[in-house]
Structure 1
Amino acid sequence: MICLFTNLFNKLKTAISGIVCTWTHNTDSDLKCDILLFFATQTEKEQLEIGAHEFGFPFKEKSNSQIGSYYDLGTIGPNRVLAVKTRMGAFFHKGSASQAIVLQATTSATSIIQLGMAFGIDRDAQNHGDVLISEWLFPYDYRTIEHDADEHQEAEGYRIDYNRTTKFRAKQSLINMFDRERSLGDHTFVVHSGGLLSGGSRIFSQLFLRKLLFRISSSSGTGGFIGGEMEGVGLLAASNKANPVWIVVKGISDFADDQRHEEIIERRPEACLNAVRFVFSALLREETVQAE
Structure 2
Amino acid sequence: MMGSHQEKINITSLIRSAEKFKREGKYSEAAKQYLLIQEQAFQTANQQWKIIALHGLGTIHTCLGNYKIAIEYHSQQLNISRSIDTSLETAVALTSLGYNYYFIENFKDASSYQDSSRNIVRRIDSKEASKIEAKALNYLGLIHSKLTKYEVADFLYDQSINIMKKLISDVEFKKNKLNISKVESEKTKLTFNENNIDFCSWVESDANKLDFKKNDIDIEFNNDIVELLYDFYAISINLTINKREFNQDNILLLEQEIAIKLQELSLSFNRLGAFVQESNAIYQLAKTHKIIGDVDTAKKYCMQSLSIVNELNIPLKNECNKLIKKLDAQYQTYEDFPESQEIEENSCESIKKEIDVVLLTATDIELLKVLQLLKPYPRKQNIQRVYSESATYHLGKFGAYKTVVTRCRIGSINNNEATLAVEQVLRKWNPKAIIMVGIACGRDPTKQKIGDVLIASEIQPYESQRVGKETINRNIPKSSNKTLLDRFDCVHDWKSKSIDGMFCNPPEVGSILSGEKLIDNPEFKAELFEQFPEAIGGEMEGAALCAASERVGTAWILVKSISDWGDGKKHNKHQPLAAGAAASFVHYVLSQKTILNGIQKPRGE
Query: Residue 572 of structure 2: SS of its match in structure 1?
Result: helix
Counterpart selection for 1:161 from 472, 482, 493: 472
Q: For the structure 1 residues 133 and 286, does the alpha-carbon distance in structure 2 shift closer, same or farther, using more than 3 Å as the test? A: farther
Does 2:434 correspond to 1:127? no
Q: Determine the C-alpha separation between the residues in 1 that align with 2:569 and 2:368.
A: 24
Mapped contact 2:434–2:554 kept (Cα < 8 A): no
TM-fit CA distance, 1:65? 3.4
Take 1:58 and 1:93, find their aligned partners in 2: how far apart are those partners? 39
1:193 paired to 2:503 = no
**2: distance between equivalents of 1:72 and 1:39?**
14
Q: 1:111 to 1:139 in 2, by over 3 A?
A: same
Q: 1:105 aligns to what? A: 427
Cα displacement (A) at 1:51: 3.3
Amino acid at match of 2:411: G
For structure 2, list consecutive stretches of 5 or more residues without a partner in the other structure.
Answer: 1-344, 497-502, 598-605
Q: 1:29 and 2:344 equivalent? A: no
- Residues 44-123 of structure 1 mapped to structure 2, 5 A cutoff: 44-52=366-374, 60-66=383-389, 68-74=391-397, 76-77=399-400, 79-90=401-412, 95-123=417-445
Q: How far apart are the structure 2 equivalents of 1:36 and 1:193?
A: 21
Query: 1:61 deviation in Å?
Result: 4.3
Residues in 2 aligned to 1:61 and 1:195: alpha-carbon distance in whole angstroms: 35
What is the aligned partner in structure 1 of residue 573 from structure 2? 266
The equivalent of 1:171 in structure 2 is 481
Q: 2:578 corresponds to which letter in structure 1?
A: A
> How does 1:140-155 map onto structure 2 within 5 Å?
140-146=462-468
What do the CA deviations read for 1:37-84 (whole angstroms, capped 9, x no partner)? 01111111222223337xx9987241243463211122632x321101
Greater share of helix residues, 1 or 2?
A: 2
Judge conservation of contact 1:27–1:107 (CA < 8 Å) in 2. Answer: no
- Structure 2 counterpart of 1:81, which letter? T
Q: Distance in 2 between matches of 1:50 and 1:94?
A: 30
Contact 1:104 1:110 in 2 (8 A): no
CA contact (8 A) 2:412 2:514 kept: no
Residues 225, 289 of structure 1: alpha-carbon distance in 2 compared, 3 angstrom cutoff: same
CA-CA distance at 1:91 after TM superposition: 5.9
* Amino acid across the alignment from 2:409: R
Look up the equivalent residue of 1:105 and give its one-letter code.
Answer: R
Distance 1:58 1:210 in 2: 50
In structure 2, C-alpha distance between the alignment counterparts of 1:110 and 1:143, rounded to whole Å = 33
Which structure has the bigger radius of gyration? 2
Is 1:87–1:94's contact at 8 Å kept on the other side of the alignment?
Answer: no
Q: Does 1:213 align with 2:529?
A: yes
Identify unmatched segments of 5+ residues in structure 1.
Answer: 1-23, 149-158, 217-222
RMSD (Å) for aligned C-alpha atoms: 3.0
Report deviation, 1:89. Answer: 1.9
**2:493 is the counterpart of 1:184:** yes
Q: Mean alpha-carbon deviation: is it higher for 26-35 or for 41-50?
A: 26-35
Check conservation: 2:374, 2:398, Cα contact below 8 A.
no
How far apart are 1:288 and its partner, in Å? 7.5
- 2:583 aligned with 1:276, yes or no? yes
Partner Cα separation in structure 2 for residue 180 and residue 286 of structure 1: 15
Cα-to-partner distance string for 1:113-140 (whole Å, 9 max, x where unaligned): 1111100000000011111110111000
Cα deviation 1:92-119 (Å, max 9, x = unaligned): 9994312221111111112111111100
CA distance in 1: counterparts of 2:525 and 2:405, whole angstroms: 31
1:45 counterpart SS class: helix
1:245 paired with 2:560, answer: no
Deviation of the 1:210 alpha carbon: 1.2
**Counterpart for residue 363 of structure 2:** 41
- Describe the SS at the equivalent of 2:587: helix
Separation in 2, partners of 1:171, 1:209 = 27
Give the aligned residue type for 1:266.
K
Q: Within 2, Cα distance between the matches of 1:46 and 1:26?
A: 25
* CA displacement at 1:233 relative to structure 2: 0.5
Residue identity matched to 1:277: S
Aligned to 2:542: 232
Flag the structure with more relative contact order, 1 or 2, with Cα contacts below 8 A and sequence separation at least 6.
Answer: 1
Report deviation, 1:34. Answer: 1.5
TM-score under structure 2 length normalisation: 0.37
* 3-state SS of 1:265 partner: coil
C-alpha change, 1:50 and 1:75, in structure 2 (3 Å) is closer
- TM-score normalised by structure 1 residue count: 0.73
CA distance in 2 between counterparts of 1:201 and 1:95 reads 15
1:99 partner SS? helix
Cα distance in 1 for partners of 2:565, 2:382 equals 31
> In structure 2, what residue type is equivalent to 1:234?
A
Identity of aligned residues (%): 25
Deviation at 1:193, TM superposition (A): 0.9
Mean Cα deviation higher: 88-97 or 231-240: 88-97
CA distance 1:288–1:112, shift in 2 (3 Å): closer
**How much has 1:244 moved relative to structure 2?**
6.0
Aligned letter for 2:362? A
1:202 aligns with 2:518: yes
SS at 1:100 equivalent: helix
1:272 positional shift: 0.1
* Whole-angstrom CA distance in 1 between matches of 2:405 and 2:357: 8
Which whole-Å CA distance do the structure 1 matches of 2:449 and 2:382 have between them?
29
Q: Deviations over 1:143-175 (max 9, x none)?
A: 2234x5xxxxxxxxxx4212x332111111111
Whether the 8 Å CA contact 1:35–1:112 is kept in 2: the answer is yes
